[in-house]
Amino acid sequence: MITPQQIEQMTREEKLQVMEALWADLTKCGDGVDSPSWHEESLRETEARRAAGQERPVDWDVAKKELRKRSE
């Protein structure tokens, strides 16, 4: 088990890698993960912006790199 103290000592990159590994494991079986109630509305809003040309799809690997840059 990882303690809060061990997490505090991890680099940002290590923390992101652990989060990705946890998410990959949790999503192996989608049946057990329920989205929060606000998520459907947020997806509808995003789809409406995409349909209006205000939003464009981005490859997940590209998006992760961009998010990492923003958090540095």
32: left (phi over 0), alpha (psi -120 to 50) or beta: alpha
Contacts of 13 (CB under 8 A, 6+ apart): 68
Separation CA 61–CA 72 (nearest Å): 17
The full set of domain ranges for the chain reads: 42-50+57-72
- Greater confidence (31 vs 11) lies with 11
- Reported as a single tens digit per residue, the pLDDT across 18-53 is 999 998 988 887 676 678 889 999 999 999 999 999
Q: Is 16 exposed, middle or buried (0-12, 13-18, 19+ CB in 10 A)?
A: middle
CB 57 within 8 A of CB 50: yes
pTM of the model: 0.46
